[in-house]
Amino acid sequence: MSLKRVTIFHFFGFKVQADASWFFIAVLIGWTMSSNIYPHLYPGQSLDMYQAMGVATVAGVIFSIIAHEVAHAVIAEYYHMPIASITLFIFGGVAEMKGEPSHPKGEFLMAVAGPIMSALAALFFWAVARLYAGYIAIGAVSQVLDYLGDLNMFIAAFNLVPAFPLDGGRALRAIIWRRKNNLVMATRIASEYGAAFSYGLIAFSCYRIVIYNDLVSGMWLGLLGFFVHSSGAYAVRHMESRSLLGMEKVSRFMHNHVATVSPDLTITDLIDLYINKHYQKSFPVIDRDRLVGVIGLQSVLSLDRHQWQWLHVGSVMEPLTPTTVVSPDLSAADALEIMQRHAGEQLLVADQGRFLGVIMFRDLANYLAITMKIDYNKPVEKSRTAY
């Protein structure tokens, strides 16, 4: 669990978690339903009844979003596209893949699985609402179920819009990918449709605010438009970076002139002989030519200063993990993704326990910035032939 995300449960080997923004939207949904929507749809009830209906609606929304994203995840896993987690956030939910889609068919089926699940959920809620109203009574329960049915059908229809990164946009990307055999190009084209759709949402939000004085819905439509636009732009940059770095190995960007320390070194000597001279934020720990750990400046500063003279590096060093050590033959794109996912500035590079050097986040970022700038400034004729 992180400060920003809370794990709700595990399913099929991946985490279902909630972003901090989801708690805000959950409260907003519950308050809006209990204070505005249900009093209008089902008048004459007590405040407690409306609040209970609001809480039930929030629970139904959570179920609906998780069902939608789990449908994505199950199909992705079937087509060998592992899912890292499902996260609820302010605009709904997202299934985060560990890598990129493996082939167009898997991408297409994964994309449409979510809307299909939402449509099925809508039919389920509507059917239960009709049964409840027919055999028991038309009341609070049937009202909530009807609303959840309407909401799920809206989620299905909205997500089928062919605007990346919506599900319809991902399906469109898969079709273009299949025809052009180029995932980067497909992502760019699908994102252009997404950008056009986002501009439409923003324009419509301004229309709602100016003409109808509908500030709340106008604001949310505008925010959704900005989200679609920014997500699509990020997806393009991410795909371009993976395309460029995917052809390079970690060894190309590795620095091998790195100061290392022994596990027998005291913290006082570490500071005097290494930190004050080499200005590194962290030092690989080498014992008998084997990489055994790493010690960083933050770990040293967290220690009691009175213990520096007798504490040794080996007793306080950080253990090696797959998120701190990589192979020189690993794709540079995968190394960048590890650093981005874990907010790291560098990774140690080792081969069968033998320390080789470090790879820095800033070097990969600078390489991408320069390479992309050159690529975007190429003559049009040459850039087209690249595809």
Write down all domains in the chain, each with its CATH number in brackets: 5-245 (no CATH), 250-369 (3.10.580.10)
How much is the average pLDDT of 137-147? 87
Helix ranges (H only) for 181-275 are 183-212, 215-245, 250-253, 267-269
For 195-232, the pLDDT digits (tens) are 999 999 999 999 989 988 888 778 888 888 998 899 88
Q: What secondary structure does DSSP assign to 118-178, as a single string?
A: HHHHHHHHHHHHHHHHHHT-SSHHHHHHHHHHHHHHHHHHHHTSS-TTSHHHHHHHHHHHH
Task: Assess contact for 284 and 355: CB atoms under 8 A.
Answer: yes
Q: What is the mean pLDDT of the chain?
A: 87
Instruction: Give the pLDDT confidence score for residue 12 in this predicted structure.
Output: 66
How much is the average pLDDT of 283-311? 90
- Beta-strand (E) ranges in 288-362? 290-296, 325-326, 346-351, 354-360
DSSP designation for 42: S
Taking the C-alpha atoms of residue 179 and residue 172, their distance in angstroms, rounded to an integer, is 11
Instruction: Give the pLDDT confidence score for residue 377 in this predicted structure.
Output: 54
Instruction: Give the pLDDT confidence score for residue 371 in this predicted structure.
Output: 84
Reported as type and span, the H/E element at residue 33 is none
The better pLDDT of the pair 226, 18 is held by 226
Q: What is the pTM of this model?
A: 0.74
pLDDT at 331 > cutoff 60: yes
pLDDT at 372 > cutoff 80: no
Instruction: Give the pLDDT confidence score for residue 376 in this predicted structure.
Output: 55
Instruction: Give the pLDDT confidence score for residue 5 in this predicted structure.
Output: 73
% of the chain beyond a pLDDT of 70: 95
Could you give the C-alpha distances from 97 to 13, 85, 216, in angstroms and in order? 13, 7, 33
The better pLDDT of the pair 13, 381 is held by 13
pLDDT at 61 > cutoff 70: yes
pLDDT at 119 > cutoff 50: yes
Alpha carbons within 13 A on the beta-carbon side of 255: 16
386 band by pLDDT with thresholds 50, 70 and 90: very low
Which of these, 74, 72, 59, lies nearest to 12 by C-alpha position?
Answer: 74
Taking the C-alpha atoms of residue 85 and residue 102, their distance in angstroms, rounded to an integer, is 18
pLDDT at 379 > cutoff 60: no
258 band by pLDDT with thresholds 50, 70 and 90: very high
Q: What is the Rg, in whole angstroms, of the alpha carbon atoms belonging to the chain?
A: 26
Give the contacts of 34 (CB within 8 A, at least 6 positions apart): 47, 50, 51, 53, 54
For 244-255, the pLDDT digits (tens) are 888 899 999 999
Structure token pair of residue 78: 């079937």
